[in-house]
Structure 1
């Protein structure tokens, strides 16, 4: 019984569900519910064992008292087959108490493992109307990523890290250590998320919003961050020495092998939009801040509105060669099963030399963005709990992004993603129909000047553990 209960406890504690995320990092409501149910059953079993122990102790106390009052040989009836002598019962109860104590210790150890290890394995099906070979084959099914997550606390010091392996590259997503100064303030040091815009994501779909492709969504850099949280306010302030690869002269083999987009160079006249930049640059000495006011009227209605900003220098390895800045106004409104999300943001690279845009890199290739632009996003999502075999939730969404007012006057970028996310145990699957113009990963580039609209149908299947 002990082994079965310990196995149940350890299994429940170590099978930490994935956090519901764009890739997810992490957990579905049903998995959390199942975990709580398992722990409740285990606690009930421990309570039952304790009750049995108390009853046995009461019996032994009565037996000992009777033996003290009547010191005489036991009768034949008292020595019948199967009767347990008082001393043996006491020993048996002591063993039971020890088992319960050990079980409680095992429960505590399983619930408080210093560092929890999780991750995900993902693959996807892709159909693209702008890729003739892909269209002729009826689409392609490929491996996407394998990732490992580490999170936990040892001696009040927090660890959070994630590393990803793709077919074509590998990269750290984040890696920081932290400390809770009190119930409201936390500090983080390392490769930590840049506080900007709607969080944790400014989107519902697998492709994020267009902000991600200019470095303004789910970006992580190397530095220090302080977070304040209470029922009404979120406040973040951060200083970043450089990007997650050590800046322009970081010791890496390929600067474009990274999870999130960062500025990596200046696009000079005559260079192609996907070429390796001849003038490499990197982020340096950046500051970022985000503040949001939260309102909650009941369990089914909430609203958050906020403002974000960041400022930093651009360095070529020898000198500062320009500045960059960005700001955003953002808000999220939730009522019942509906969530509405909106954001307007603008960025500006003020460089000392004439240029055709800023070179950015991620996912093993270079791209180009305008040196200045304004972006708008408007998203809506509906979450529907269901019981269809292993499926526990369906989230329907439509995310729209527009990038306009580009320096240089090129055509606007837009992306609309109509989709559905399906939760089923450890599986989290995105079904996305993407319609876009001048959008990376949908047949275009942010600095592109095309009038063509492209379509991509994407199914990303992820198992989170």
Structure 2
């Protein structure tokens, strides 16, 4: 009985262990399935994130591609726009502007008794036209002047710009010598003008470098602006610039037509200047100039000539100071001491060699007096000395004021001079000290 009782108990015990084991396996499988399901969801979520990232990357690439296309299109449009703007600007720059001036003059001359008796004279001075402009890449500048007694071309040249600071000029251009553009502030210039050493124009080619701080001008002139020794002009003295037109023989009159014609030829000229700017108020240009050329007679060479100068042009606020020391030499075969020059429809005479010194001061004062908006107070002094042939020295001092009123500019000049053209004398004369009070009234347009 005990054995019988034990058997069912044992059997029951064995059956209970198998059921527990089976349940444990099922639970494990369920847990595993749950974990797999969770992992699958995580994988699905990661896959979705990956797909989203790929989609975003594709969209970004597409957007980047679209952006690049848009940028390329904008660049092309910008290039076309710039080309159109450049074309319009070029058209706007093309064309010639016409300007000019008309001037009248009053003068009181103590060396002219009839003028003194009339208490001075009023005259028409000049009417001029200025042409300036550009057609494509070529610049044009010209000036034509009409006087009561003659007409003359002052300058006429064509220019080509190699760069912003470099230009080549061809035609009737200014000789690069001394302080530029003028070595004076008054109506009469300095005495150098009457020697052909200030604001003088010859036919040739000129290179100009106008950088900062350097200014370099190199030029070659074939002949003067009147065509040289045999130019096709009615009168070689009908010139704005003073040109050598002959060699004076002993006893030949100062104002006589030259008996022995001459002219400059093949002249090389150079001007180099450097500008200092120590501060915003002060600017100083220091420079040196030189030229050398030949002298031509009717059929052959008759000598050569040269000139050189040291010059300074300084600005301090409203004050301008100019100084220049020059020397010129005409070496004529046969050793002539005097040369004939021509300008303004008459002939004059200069020494073949001389030294020149100039010193000028100007002060600008802005004002508001009705139409008057500016006053220029100046004193310009010139001395021509050590002349060949023991000719007396020339000096000229001009004390004056320039008055600006809109498009009007008026020179009031009191001139004291000796042996000075237009002041009762000649560069080759031996006269006394003369005086002239001059008012030049001009309208500029």
Considering the TM-score relative to the shorter chain, is it more than 0.5? Answer: yes
Displacement of 1:114 after TM fit?
Answer: 1.1
Q: Distance in 1 between matches of 2:399 and 2:274?
A: 29
Displacement of 1:260 after TM fit?
Answer: 1.2
Normalised to the residue count of structure 1, the TM-score between the two structures is 0.76
1:292 maps onto 2:273 in alignment:
yes
Specify which of 418, 422, 434 is matched with residue 454 of structure 1.
434
Alignment match, 1:363: 344
Bigger mean CA deviation after superposition, 119-128 or 296-305: 296-305
Q: Distance in 2 between matches of 1:356 and 1:308?
A: 24
State the aligned residue count: 360
1:413 maps onto 2:394 in alignment:
yes
1:147 maps onto 2:145 in alignment:
no
Listed one character per residue, the Cα deviations across residues 153-194 of structure 1 (whole Å, up to 9, x for unaligned) are 001100000000000000000000000001121000000000
Q: Distance in 2 between matches of 1:192 and 1:109?
A: 25
Alignment match, 2:219: 238
SS in 1 for 2:251: coil
Displacement of 1:229 after TM fit?
Answer: 1.3
SS in 2 for 1:283: strand
Alignment match, 1:282: 263
Alignment match, 1:344: 325
Runs ≥4 residues deviating over 3 A:
107-113
Displacement of 1:356 after TM fit?
Answer: 4.2
Listed one character per residue, the Cα deviations across residues 262-315 of structure 1 (whole Å, up to 9, x for unaligned) are 100000112100000010011100000000000123332100000000000010
Change in 2 beyond 3 A, CA 1:276/1:374: same
For residues 320-335 of structure 1, the aligned pairs below 5 Å read: 320-335=301-316
Q: Distance in 2 between matches of 1:240 and 1:226?
A: 12
Change in 2 beyond 3 A, CA 1:328/1:109: closer
Q: Distance in 1 between matches of 2:152 and 2:114?
A: 29
Normalised to the residue count of structure 2, the TM-score between the two structures is 0.79
Question: Quick check: 2:174–2:199 contact (8 Å CA) kept in 1?
Answer: yes
For residues 38-57 of structure 1, the aligned pairs below 5 Å read: none
1:263 maps onto 2:244 in alignment:
yes
For residues 109-124 of structure 1, the aligned pairs below 5 Å read: 112=93, 114-124=95-105
Higher helix share: 2
Listed one character per residue, the Cα deviations across residues 296-339 of structure 1 (whole Å, up to 9, x for unaligned) are 23332100000000000010131110101000000011111111
Question: Quick check: 1:268–1:354 contact (8 Å CA) kept in 2?
Answer: no
Alignment match, 1:463: 443
Displacement of 1:231 after TM fit?
Answer: 1.2
Gaps of 5+ in 1: 1-103
Task: Please give the root-mean-square deviation of Cα atoms over the aligned residues, in Å.
Answer: 1.5
Alignment match, 2:299: 318
Gaps of 5+ in 2: 1-84
Q: Distance in 2 between matches of 1:356 and 1:329?
A: 25
Alignment match, 1:211: 192
